[in-house]
């Protein structure tokens, strides 16, 4: 359907005012609308608007255009009606519906607020506002889920994917730091305490992280450990008795060095220990391979093991 007639109206250039002619076309438009001939009704409503662009003529044309799928032109007319000194309430509500259909929740909300400012008890606007706000919340939730999935994928990136020197790669490998997530669980002091790990490697790794807006130890600050531990313990509940998972780590009768490492990590139960990764344990100062092997043997006796990153 051509929209040239509307362009003339929207541009502000109309034919000479002809109220009587406009009224005649509007009456014929109503007749065609009632008989179900929408296209003929639109042509007469358009003619009425060209002769006298009063609110009733504009709204009827916009409404019929909306019904036949001429969404863009209908929205233009509804917008014009909403900008009048006395905004057309029904036009604003219909415009909000069209914005909502397009997923434009902010624009829909803005239209409805304008209605409710003029008529606070407008039933249709109040009801539709609830729908729009619920949709906005759903969109935010979906966005959060996408961001979380993207963040998780980034954290699971192997450190071998980053441009690091051979020395740095070897040190991280020996410390069982396999992913970016593992690296964020380690502090600067813990890295420097590891044998053969020097300032040059530290500077290199910190620079790589800084390029991604990250830093050493960030995972500990943001609670990634606690969330990962809880999720892992919950996943174990189906195959391991809760009494075992809740048993204190002191019942494992570990060596002094191993016990101190778990104290530094605030690990209190066997479930919390099983939820830790090798990298987290190896990142503790003075915790070595012997202590790691000791803990793995104790857990294996209970049918458990340290958490492995997928």
Measuring CA to CA, which residue among 184, 224, 181 is closest to residue 310?
181
> Domain residues for 302?
223-310
Could you tell me if 179 and 159 are in contact, meaning their C-beta atoms sit under 8 angstroms apart? yes
| pLDDT at residue 58 tops 90 | yes
DSSP 285: T
SS3 content of the chain, % helix, strand, coil (to 5): 70, 0, 30
pLDDT digit string, tens, across residues 9-18: 444 444 458 8
Domain end (from 98, 117, 143): 143
The pair of structure tokens assigned to 94 is 């219909």
What CATH number does the domain containing 199 carry?
1.10.150.20
* Cβ atoms of residues 225 and 219 within 8 Å: yes
Q: How many residues does the chain have?
A: 310
Domain-embedded: residue 148: no
Which of 143, 168, 188 is the endpoint of a domain?
Answer: 143
pLDDT at residue number 25: 93
Residue 272 lies in a domain: yes
Q: Compute and round to an integer the Cα radius of gyration of the chain.
A: 34
Q: Which position has the higher pLDDT, 238 or 85?
A: 85
In this structure, are residues 32 and 41 in contact, taking their beta carbons and an 8 Å threshold?
yes
For residues 8 and 100, membership in a common domain is answered with yes
Collapsed DSSP state (helix, strand, coil) of residue 248: strand
Using the 3D structure, point to which of 178, 201, 222 is the last residue of a domain: 222
Residue with tokens 């979906």: 142
pLDDT one-digit tens code per residue, 162-216: 888 888 888 888 888 888 888 887 777 777 777 778 888 888 988 888 877 777 8
Tell me: do 11 and 126 sit in the same domain. yes
Query: Tens digits of per-residue pLDDT, 74-95?
Result: 999 999 998 888 888 888 988 8
**Number of folded domains that form the chain:** 3
Q: State the pTM of this model.
A: 0.40
Is position 46 within any domain? yes
Whole-number Å distance between alpha carbons of 240 and 216: 34
- The C-alpha atoms of residue 59 and residue 74 are separated, in whole angstroms, by 9
| Confidence (pLDDT) at 1 | 40
CA distance 97 to 102: 9
Q: What percent of the chain has pLDDT over 70?
A: 83
Q: Give dist(CA 110, CA 84) in Å, integer.
A: 16
Nearest to 94 by CA among 84, 107, 85, 86: 107
For residue 284, what pLDDT is reported? Answer: 76
């Amino acid at each position: 359907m051509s929209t040239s007639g509307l362009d003339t109206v929207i541009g502000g250039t109309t034919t000479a005012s002809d109220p009587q002619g406009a009224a005649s076309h509007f009456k014929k438009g109503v007749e065609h609308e009632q008989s179900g001939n929408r296209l003929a009704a639109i042509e007469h409503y358009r003619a009425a608007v060209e002769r006298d662009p009063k609110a009733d003529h504009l709204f009827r044309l916009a409404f019929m255009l909306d019904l036949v799928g001429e969404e863009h032109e209908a929205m233009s007319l509804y917008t014009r009606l909403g900008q009048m000194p006395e905004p057309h309430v029904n036009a604003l509500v219909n415009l909000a519906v069209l914005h909502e259909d397009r997923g434009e929740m902010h624009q829909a909300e803005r239209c409805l607020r304008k209605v409710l400012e003029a008529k606070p008890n407008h039933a249709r606007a109040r009801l539709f506002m609830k729908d729009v706000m619920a949709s906005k919340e759903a969109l935010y939730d979906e966005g959060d889920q996408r961001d979380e999935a993207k963040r998780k994928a980034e954290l699971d990136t192997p450190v071998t994917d980053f441009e690091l020197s051979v020395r740095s790669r070897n040190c991280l490998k020996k410390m069982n730091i396999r992913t970016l997530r593992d690296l964020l669980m380690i502090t600067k002091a813990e890295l420097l305490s590891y044998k053969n790990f020097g300032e040059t490697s530290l500077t290199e790794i910190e620079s790589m992280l800084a390029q991604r807006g990250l830093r050493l130890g960030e995972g500990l600050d943001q609670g990634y450990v606690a969330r990962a531990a809880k999720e892992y313990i919950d996943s174990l509940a189906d195959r391991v008795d809760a009494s075992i998972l809740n048993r204190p780590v002191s019942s494992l009768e570990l060596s002094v060095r191993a016990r101190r490492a778990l104290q530094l990590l605030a690990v209190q139960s066997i479930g919390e220990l099983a939820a830790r990764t090798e990298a987290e344990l190896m990142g503790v100062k003075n915790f070595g391979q012997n202590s790691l092997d000791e803990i793995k043997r104790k857990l294996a006796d209970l049918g458990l093991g340290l958490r492995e990153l997928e």
